Amino acid sequence: MQIAFRPRFPVDAVPLLDESRSAANLARQREQIAFWEGVFGPCKADPAVDFEDFHENAARLVAAARSGAPVYVFDRDGGDCVTHGLNTEANFDPARSVIALGSFKRTDALLSMPGLVAPTEDSVLGAYRYHELSAFRDLCGRPMAIAGFPDGGGHWTDERSIYRALEEMNAKGHQRFFLKLTLPKGGIYRLELPEAAPREAIHEAVLDSIGYDLARFEGARDICLVQSYLPMTHEYRFFVVDGQLVAGAGCVEVLTPLDATDRFSPIMERRRNQDTPKAEPEILNGHIAEASRFVAMAVAEKPDLRHYALDMALNPNGNSVVLELNPMLNVGLYATAYEHVLAAILAGEAQASAA
Amino acid at 244: Q
| Distance from C-alpha of 240 to C-alpha of 227, rounded to nearest angstrom | 24
Strand order from edge to edge, sheet including 307-314:
244-250, 233-241, 307-314, 320-327
The closest of 65, 82, 64, 62 to 73, measured between CA atoms, is: 82
pLDDT on residue 183: 66
Q: Is 191 helix (H, G, I), strand (E, B) or coil?
A: strand
pLDDT on residue 184: 61
**Who's near 58: CB < 8 A, 6+ residues apart?**
32, 33, 35, 36
Per-residue pLDDT of the chain (355 residues; tens, 9 = 90+): 999 999 999 999 999 999 999 999 999 999 999 999 999 999 999 999 999 999 999 999 999 999 999 999 999 988 899 999 999 999 999 999 999 998 898 889 999 999 999 999 999 999 999 999 999 999 999 999 999 988 776 788 888 999 999 999 999 999 999 999 886 666 889 999 999 999 999 999 999 998 888 888 888 888 899 999 989 999 999 999 999 999 999 999 999 999 999 999 999 999 998 999 999 999 999 999 999 999 999 999 999 999 999 999 999 999 999 999 999 988 999 999 999 999 999 999 998 888 7
E strands in the chain:
2-6, 13-14, 44-45, 71-74, 82-86, 98-102, 116-118, 144-147, 176-182, 185-192, 224-228, 233-241, 244-250, 267-268, 278-279, 307-314, 320-327
Kindly state the DSSP code that residue 189 receives in the 8-state scheme.
E
pLDDT on residue 211: 86
The closest of 246, 244, 253, 125 to 184, measured between CA atoms, is: 125
Rounded to 5°, angle at Cα 251 from 247 and 256: 70
Q: How many CB atoms lie within 10 A of CB 268?
A: 26
- Residue-wise pLDDT for 228-237, tens only, equals 998 999 999 9
Q: Is 262 exposed, middle or buried (0-12, 13-18, 19+ CB in 10 A)?
A: middle
Amino acid at 100: A
Rounded to 5°, angle at Cα 288 from 283 and 292: 150
The closest of 218, 203, 136 to 166, measured between CA atoms, is: 203
- Residue-wise pLDDT for 184-223, tens only, equals 666 889 999 999 999 999 999 999 998 888 888 888 888 8
Q: Is 45 helix (H, G, I), strand (E, B) or coil?
A: strand
The model's pTM is 0.93
Q: How many CB atoms lie within 10 A of CB 280?
A: 20
Q: How many CB atoms lie within 10 A of CB 159?
A: 11
Q: How many CB atoms lie within 10 A of CB 103?
A: 17
